[in-house]
Structure 1
């Protein structure tokens, strides 16, 4: 009897920087290319510049501002459909971008019992301080962050003119991170099919 091939996992890559002149598109495109090489993933890139969300939350018990539902409709179903996430983030002032935190905070069940990997970039730290803080935030939302990350220290000279990483070790790091992400995504998807997750 032939082995059953599981359906590809749906991966959402979230581009966390919205700053003018951002380097994020280069890192996100490289990340997407690494994920697209895999037959076990389908990829959706959620760029917070292209899908801005409201920055003002309604007071408790009050309706959201006009236009909120329309903005969320461009993002929320895509996060809900994802089996796993990769967050592409720079480091701003030893932390992560406000737009990324805003996108995280507008959602809750969309994160539950799903794995999250990270591709970070920055100066000396390579964005790792942003990643460590994101782990704490996402744990509160019942997400599972994978151990290994991809980090670009001094990112300005880490990509060539075509957008490829100049250090082959970066590709190896991406494979390790995605391998872990896929393992957790299958494990969690299979478990939720048997028993709904209780948040």
Structure 2
């Protein structure tokens, strides 16, 4: 069986987003492995309108060309790593909209995440896991949580260094466990889908 292909999806589109720093760190962790291939997928590169279809593409083909382009991209992968910013105790609106723009493509594939924000993005992660279950994804038990103390050490907007190496020791065990889970489930679900 071929190595699973994984998308690392940046879930924030704000001009001033912090997401690029943890995304590049998580991408490096995934690329250092030989049991997966990983591609960075940035929501900024997909000009998705607010979801306005008659139904999800599980029930009716999407009419939006942008949504169809997004669906085709998402379909390429065997699993997903989301970089999740916590906004007001949930995921970003742009990530929720992107999740809603597909259904068939997410189904029966695993997901994990790197979350940041208040209490390490835990509340956003819980919402993401609930959404993933409804989309028939397999959320992994493990995820990476960048807590506020480490967030402030790294976030340049709060006087941080901009360097994830400053907090890496706190995150590596969770990153390893998350990626181990993701690869196991990606291989299992890929075999089952085949």
TM-score range, shorter chain: 0.7 to 0.9
Unaligned runs of 5+ in 2: 156-160
For structure 1, the residue ranges without an aligned partner over 5 or more in a row are: 1-5, 194-199
Looking at structure 2, the residues matched to 183 and 63 of structure 1 have their Cα atoms a distance apart, in angstroms, of: 32
How many Å separate the matches in 1 of 2:167 and 2:32? 18
Match of 2:75 in 1: 80
Q: Give the Cα separation in 2 of the matches to 1:172 and 1:39.
A: 18
What whole-Å deviation, never above 9, does each CA across 1:14-47 have from its counterpart, x for those lacking one? 1001122100000110110000001111111111
**Do residues 187 (structure 1) and 182 (structure 2) align?**
no
Of 135, 145, 148, 1:141 maps to 135
The 5 Å alignment of 1:137-176 reads 137-154=131-148, 155-158=151-154, 160-176=161-177
1:110-125 to 2 correspondences below 5 Å? 110-123=105-118, 125=119
Q: Which residue of 2 aligns with 1:58?
A: 53
Q: For 1:17, which of 12, 16, 28 is the aligned residue? A: 12
Is the contact made by 1:7 and 1:40 (CA closer than 8 Å) also made in structure 2? no
Greater shift, 44-53 or 181-190, is seen at 44-53
In the alignment of these two chains, the number of paired residues is 183
- Corresponding residue for residue 38 of structure 1: 33
Matched ranges for 1:127-138 at <5 A = 127-138=121-132
Q: Does the 8 Å CA contact 2:110/2:185 hold for their aligned counterparts?
A: yes
Distance 1:107 1:63 in 2: 9
Give the Cα separation in 1 of the matches to 2:121 and 2:94. 16
TM-score, normalised on structure 2?
A: 0.87
In the TM superposition, residue 56 of structure 1 has moved relative to its aligned partner by 4.3
User: Matched residues in 2 for 1:10 and 1:63: separation?
Assistant: 25
**Counterpart in 2 of 1:197?**
none
Task: Flag the structure with higher helix content.
Answer: 2
Deviations 1:145-172 (A, max 9, x none): 0001100012131475444352413112
